[in-house]
Structure 1
Amino acid sequence: MAGRASRGPELGAGRGGAPGCSLVIKPRGHPRVLARSAGRRPRDGMLVGAVVAGTVAVGAVPVVLGTLGFTAAGIAAGSVAAKMMSAAAVANAGGVVAGSLVATLQSVGAAGLATSSNVILGTVGSALGALAMI
């Protein structure tokens, strides 16, 4: 329409639509939904997160326990493990109770985790890693 300033899309000016139905709808929504339409695979990040977190969860246990002082040769003198053992011994009249936290951590530090425990730890680590990437 000549002589009149345009204030936006005119009705009926679309591509073959009925008059009054020519508004262009731009995609809105979550970026992962838009990524699918762009040809990217949003689950790649979840897979990487799951693999990394599962591997780190299983590999970190011996390193962390060794750092705390729970070693294959026993509890390291002057370490956090030694302080935990001392507190447990004082609380239990001079001995460390079998099955207590200190006893369990020393057992794992000396012998490592069982295969079933590694599988469970890796599975939980993988699930948390995948969830973190959502």
Structure 2
Amino acid sequence: MIAGGIGAVALVPVALGAIGFTSAGIAASSVAASMMSSAAVANAGGVAAGGLVAVLQSAGAAGISATTSAVVAGVGGAVGAAVGRIFR
């Protein structure tokens, strides 16, 4: 359970970077760029503050907050515990 929580927190920045939400901004030709384009089309040319793309970019640029880390750790721990029960 603890390993699942730690792993989930450690992998969030890696996953965000892998899909294009980087500290330097949204990477060209990435999943993140596609999401941003779709969000801009849906919002008449802009990306809504507080929307999914904005939140993910913020996390990719600055990292995740302590509260978010705790939530991700809790979910990761629960998933780890569930998987552990299945594969006993």
Q: Is TM more than 0.5 here?
A: yes
Q: Which residue of 1 aligns with 2:43?
A: 92
Deviation at 1:121, TM superposition (A): 1.2
Greater share of helix: 2
Extract unaligned runs of 5+ from structure 1. Answer: 1-49
Written as runs of structure 1 = structure 2, the 5 A alignment for 1:8-87 is 50-87=1-38
Query: Relative contact order (C-alpha < 8 Å, sep 6+): which is higher?
Result: 2
Extract unaligned runs of 5+ from structure 2. Answer: none
After TM superposition, where is structure 1 displaced by more than 3 Å over at least 4 residues in a row? Answer: none
Identity across the alignment (%): 58
CA RMSD after TM alignment:
1.0
Q: Which residue of 1 aligns with 2:62?
A: 111
How many angstroms apart in 2 are the aligned matches of 1:93 and 1:131?
Answer: 43
Calculate the TM-score normalised by the size of structure 1: 0.60
Number of equivalent positions:
85
Q: Which has the larger radius of gyration?
A: 1
Q: State the SS of the aligned residue for 1:96.
A: coil
Q: Which residue of 2 aligns with 1:102?
A: 53
